[in-house]
Amino acid sequence: MRRFMAFAVDENWRNKMAWKFLARAAALSLSLLLIACGGDSGSTPLAGGSNNNGGDNGSGTPTTPGVTVGSIQLITSTPSIGSSGQDKAQITALVRDQNGILTPGLEVAFNASNNGSLTVTNQTTTDAGQASAELSTQGDARNRTISVTASTGGVSNSVNIAVTGTNMSLTGPSAISNGANASYEARLLDSSGQGIGNTAVSVSSQKNTVSSPTLTTDASGRVQFQLTASSGGSDTVVVSAYEGESRVSAQININVSADSFAFGTLADNEVEIDTPQALSVTWTQNGAPVVGQTVRFSTTRGTLSNSSVTTNAQGTAQVSISSSDVGIAEVTASADAAGGSQIQANTTIEFVSSAPHEVNIRASKTQVSTNDEASIITTVRDVNGNLVKNATVEFTLVDPTGGTLSPGTVNTDSQGRAISTYRSTSSISDKDGVQVTARITRQDSSTDEASISLTVAGRALTLILGTGNTIAAPNETVYDMPWSVLVTDANGNASTNQPVQLSVLPLEFYKGTYSYNGDLWVTNVSQSCQTNHADPVNGTEIANPASAPTSVSTDASGSVEFDIRYPKGECSWVRVRLTATSNVEGFTSSNSREFILPCLSADLTNEDVRPPGGTESPYNPTACN
C-alpha cells in the first residue's frame, strides 16, 4: 500500500465528479440512441459537435474530439499596465464552438509581441470555456503596445495592451553666459519612479556644444553632461531615449547672454583636505568688466569663505573653499544679468588625502578555480578614515601552485582603491594555501600591511537532487511535484550561476487496477513492464508521462528549485528517472533519482470518488514487449 502526503483538494470535488458522471452518462445514452436510429457519416452533428474524430485540427493544436472551434474572444483585465513590471494584465480567452457554445478541454496557445512576458496560468479551457494567461513587462521598461494572441483549432484572436509610465526629466540652468559651462542632469524613470539603468540617452543642442551626444544611464537612471555656451541667444537642450512609439524626451529652453561669466583655471584640480583653495569668477560684458555686481557661490562639498561677493574693478569675484573630507566638490557661481536673466558658471575640484595610514584587503572570490583569476582589492585610508588617493600599494604573493599576481605595485584611485589580479595555474592548492599581502608606507616611514588567503580548487561538480513529501494540483488535470538540485564544487562550496540540464524518462509502467481498502484507493499491480529506456533491446516504448524544465541555473546558494509536471491519470502507474547534469570545461557531473509518480493523498481517500484516471491503469491495453 502506497501513501503520499500532499495538499488537499477543494470540498466541491465530489459534486463536480457527480455532475461529470451524469453528463457523460447522458451523452452515452444519446449516442446509443443515434446509432439505433441509423446515424451515419451524413448525420447532422449534435450542437457543439462535428463528424470528425478530433485529434489534430490542421493547425497543430489538439482539440476535444468532435469539436470545431468557431471563435475566440480575448478579454483583458486592464487596457494598460505600468512599465515597471509590477503591474500585470489578466488575459482570458473564451473559446466557443461553431454554435457559440463555450467549449472545455481545448488547449489554447498564447503569445505576446513586442517583448511582453506571458505566464500561462491555464492553457486548457475549463468547463466555462476559459483559458487564461498573465502579461507583464519584466525586463523591458519601454512604453509600447503589446499584442497578445490566443489560438486553437485554426482560429485566433488578439488584444492590445498599452505599456505606459516611462518618462524623462531634465534639470539645469536656463540662462548661461557666453563662454561658460553649465551642468545638466537627465533621469529616465519607469512607471513606479525607479531609475532605468544601462540605457542609451541622446543629448543635443541646436547652437551650442554638449560634452557628449550619447550617454548611458547609471543604475539610478541618471546621466550628467555639460553644455559649453559658444553662441548667444536662445537655444534648446533636448535629451531622449528609445525610438519610435517608445521614444521619451525632455527639454530645457536656455538663453545664452552676451556676458562672459566664467571661473578661472586652477593650476591643479586636486586639493589637499583642510587646505583653503582660492576660486575666482570673472564677469565681462562685450569685453568690459562688470563692476560692483553681486556674485553668489554655492558648493556640494566643503565650506566657502563667503556665499556672495561683489565684483572688483576687473570684474572678478573671489572666494576660498576648504573641506575636511575627501571627494568631488561642484562649485556654482550665479548672478543676475541685465534684463532680469540669470547667468551661471560651474567648476569642479577634488579634495584628496595624501597621508596613508591603514590598508585593508579583500578578494573578488577566495575560492578560485584552476586556470582562473580573482581581483585583489585594497583600500587605503588616513588616520581619520578618509580615503587616500595616489598612495602606493605593494603586493606580494606566496603560492606553491605557481600562480601569478600582477601588477605588483599600484597607486590608489579617488576611492582609495588599488587592484591587482591573481591568476591560478592548472594545479590545485591546500585550503587557504595561497596568500596575498598588500603593504603601504606611511609618511613617517612606518608601514602597514594586510593579507588574504585563497584556495585554488578543481572545477569538478557534485549534484544532489531532493524533494519533499508534498505535491500540488494546479488544475484538475495535472500534478506538480517540487524538486531542487544543489550544485557544489570540489571544496563543497556553492557553484553559483551554474547551468543544469534536466530530463525525466519512464523506466517501468504497471498494469492493474485500484481497489478501496476501507481507508484509501490502493493499486493492485498485475504486471510490470520495462520501457525502452530501461531495456533498450526488449523494452516497450511509451510516451513520456512527465516533463521538467530543459535547463535551469543555480542561484547564489548553488541551488535551484523546479517542478515535475505530469497528468493525474499517470500517478501510481509509472516509475521514472529524474536526471540532473552539469558540465564545466568538458567535465560532466550528474545525479539521478528514480521514483513512482505519486498521487495526492486527498485524491485517493474517498470511496465515492474514483482515483485520478479511473480505477484501471491506463497501460492495461499496452503490450509489454
Q: Is residue 85's pLDDT more than 60?
A: yes
* Four-way CATH pick for 358-457: 3.40.50.720, 3.40.190.100, 2.60.40.10, 3.40.50.300: 2.60.40.10
Q: Do domains 167-257 and 358-457 have the same CATH topology?
A: yes
Q: pLDDT per residue over 367-419, tens digit each?
A: 888 888 999 999 999 999 999 999 999 999 999 999 999 999 999 999 999 99
The band of 35, judged by pLDDT with boundaries at 50, 70 and 90, is very low
What's residue 66's pLDDT? 67
Locus of grid cell 540532473: 580
Q: Is residue 10's pLDDT more than 70?
A: no
Q: Is residue 1's pLDDT more than 90?
A: no
**Distance from the first to the final alpha carbon of the chain:** 27
What's residue 64's pLDDT? 57
Bridge partner list, 359: 380
CATH class, domain 167-257, is: mainly beta
Domain ranges of the chain: 48-164, 167-257, 259-352, 358-457, 462-603
Sign (positive/negative) of CA torsion 126, 127, 129, 135?
negative
Q: What is the mean pLDDT of residues 11-17?
A: 37
Q: What is the mean pLDDT of residues 109-123?
A: 94
More confident residue, 282 or 489: 282
Q: Is residue 37's pLDDT more than 60?
A: no
Annotate 244-301 with DSSP letters as a single string. GGG-EEEEEEEEEESEEEEEPPPS-SEEETT--EEEEEEEEETTEE--S-EEEEEESS
Amino acid sitting at position 29? S
What's residue 233's pLDDT? 81
| % of the chain exceeding 70 in pLDDT | 88
CATH class, domain 48-164, is: mainly beta
Q: Is residue 458's pLDDT more than 80?
A: no
Q: Is residue 302's pLDDT more than 80?
A: yes
The mean pLDDT value of the chain amounts to 86
The band of 585, judged by pLDDT with boundaries at 50, 70 and 90, is low
Q: What is the mean pLDDT of residues 518-531?
A: 93
Q: Is residue 623's pLDDT more than 70?
A: yes
Q: Is residue 15's pLDDT more than 80?
A: no
Q: Is residue 14's pLDDT more than 70?
A: no
Sign (positive/negative) of CA torsion 527, 533, 534, 536?
positive
More confident residue, 5 or 573: 573
Copy the grid coordinates of residue 126.
475549463
Least confident residue range of 14-23, 151-160, 385-394 = 14-23
| % of the chain exceeding 90 in pLDDT | 71
More confident residue, 335 or 340: 335
CA distances from 171 to 185, 196, 215, 250, 255 (A): 5, 17, 16, 9, 15
Q: What is the mean pLDDT of residues 101-129?
A: 94
Half-sphere exposure in the Cβ direction for 156 (13 Å, CA): 14
Q: What is the mean pLDDT of residues 206-215?
A: 93
CA distances from 538 to 123, 195, 253, 531, 620 (A): 37, 62, 82, 8, 18
Q: What pTM did the predictor assign?
A: 0.47
Q: pLDDT per residue over 225-252, tens digit each?
A: 999 988 878 899 999 999 999 999 999 9
What's residue 138's pLDDT? 85
Torsion angle of the four alpha carbons 377, 383, 388, 393, in this order, in degrees rounded to the nearest 10: -50
* CB 321, CB 303: distance < 8 Å: yes
Domain spanning 259-352: CATH 3.40.50.300: no
What's residue 614's pLDDT? 94
* CB 481, CB 564: distance < 8 Å: yes
What's residue 537's pLDDT? 78
What's residue 55's pLDDT? 37
Domain spanning 462-603: CATH 3.40.190.10: no
More confident residue, 279 or 426: 279
DSSP state of 30: H
Q: pLDDT per residue over 611-622, tens digit each?
A: 999 999 999 988
* CB 554, CB 491: distance < 8 Å: no
